[in-house]
């Protein structure tokens, strides 16, 4: 098995676009939450989300015709372009047949779906816009990355909802580790949309203005959007071109318990953590930081922390949730967690959980890195991602040395 390094990062988020702004946002504990502008939220009691109002795909992309692609595809392609630039990868110098894309998503092109649904309701099939129909297939998210970068290797979109980016990273890791690819762009993308906002509100899982993971008074998630892509390559490929390694992908764990449509299952999550540790060849006491799924719902936070306590003999390492800053970005969520974990290792700091006023004492004596980032030596970081139907996916990163 070949070692797999992370050599480039591409965050397009509500707290920063590009590595430096995103890292600065994490360190500052910046909130990217704002009143919803991408659709008419009038009539909803809760009207805030983690949108990316400054996203200008035309300024970031070099190949795609922006007008022919949906917002989620553009997030994915822009994040991948940023990761390639960050890695200083000369695309003309690589074997494009051995370079590909694995992109996770929850809703795919949700904005196009809403547009087409409205047209169908008001004007019938004849009223449906041809460009939006072409934009609609979720598989286009990975295709957008491959088309933007000229990649000819495997191009796959993985729709496992809120853990999808971790699935994509694991998939890309396997391709490189087993020698089937040299370079992969892996992560996820999703867009804020009306139907997801309405759905989470009807579930009673939507907070009003702040996402407050692990707080006694937490009220749920805030929807978010963006693209989060990591450039992975074999250690040999990276070393041959003199690339910097942010971190190493040590391994991952996946499972699916299918126990309930939305309720997480404690023993299944604990087993997923153990599977990730076994695959990464690390013991629980070697993990220095857990980037939690940390949605801010009463049920998810309680079950996730209980599972961590089971695996870590009651004393998990520091745990924090970046969703407190950027909202729940759905298919991109564990991609942003992966980028935060890699930056924590490379730059030596713990990203904070903001909006944490009253830590929930029922969760036990856990270090949630409340409200402020702080310096720390992180050798191994664990990135959690959980999704509907008990789709659990966890990736473990270590130092690149």
Q: Which residue numbers are catalytic? A: 162, 293, 328
Residue 226, strand partner residues? 190
**Token duo for residue 391:** 């789709």
């Amino acid at each position: 098995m070949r070692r797999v390094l992370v050599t480039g990062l591409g965050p397009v988020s509500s707290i920063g676009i590009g590595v430096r702004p995103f890292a600065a946002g994490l360190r500052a504990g910046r909130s990217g939450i704002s009143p919803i502008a991408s659709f008419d939220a009038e009539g909803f009691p809760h009207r805030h989300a983690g949108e990316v109002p400054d996203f200008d795909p035309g300024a970031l992309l070099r190949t795609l015709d922006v007008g022919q692609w949906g917002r989620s595809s553009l997030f994915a392609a822009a994040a991948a372009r940023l990761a390639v630039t960050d890695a200083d990868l000369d695309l003309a110098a690589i074997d494009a047949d051995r370079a590909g894309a694995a992109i996770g998503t929850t809703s795919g092109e949700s904005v196009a779906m809403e547009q087409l649904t409205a047209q169908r309701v008001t004007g019938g099939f004849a009223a449906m816009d041809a460009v939006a129909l072409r934009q609609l297939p979720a598989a286009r998210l990975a295709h957008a990355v491959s088309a933007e970068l000229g990649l000819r290797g495997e191009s796959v979109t993985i729709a496992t909802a809120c853990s999808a980016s971790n699935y994509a990273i694991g998939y890309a890791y396997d391709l490189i580790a087993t020698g089937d690819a040299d370079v992969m762009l892996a992560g996820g993308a999703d867009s804020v949309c009306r139907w997801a906002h309405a759905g989470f509100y009807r579930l009673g899982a939507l907070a009003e203005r702040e996402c407050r993971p692990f707080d006694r008074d937490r009220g749920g998630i805030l929807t978010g959007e963006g693209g989060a892509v990591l450039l992975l390559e074999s250690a040999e490929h990276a070393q041959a071109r003199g690339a910097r390694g942010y971190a190493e992908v040590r391994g991952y764990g996946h499972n699916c318990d299918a126990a309930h449509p939305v309720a997480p299952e404690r023993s299944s999550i604990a087993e997923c953590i153990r599977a990730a540790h076994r695959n990464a060849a690390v013991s629980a006491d070697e993990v220095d930081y857990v980037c939690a799924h940390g949605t801010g719902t009463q049920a998810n936070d309680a079950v996730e922390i209980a599972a961590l306590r089971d695996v870590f003999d009651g004393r998990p390492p520091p745990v924090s949730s970046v969703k407190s800053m950027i909202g729940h970005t759905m298919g991109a969520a564990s991609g942003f967690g992966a980028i935060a974990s890699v930056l924590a290792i490379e730059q030596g700091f713990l990203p904070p959980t903001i909006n944490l006023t009253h830590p929930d004492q029922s969760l036990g004596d856990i270090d949630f890195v409340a409200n402020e980032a702080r310096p720390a030596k992180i050798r191994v970081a664990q990135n959690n991602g959980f999704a509907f139907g008990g789709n659990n996916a966890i990736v473990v990163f270590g130092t690149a040395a």
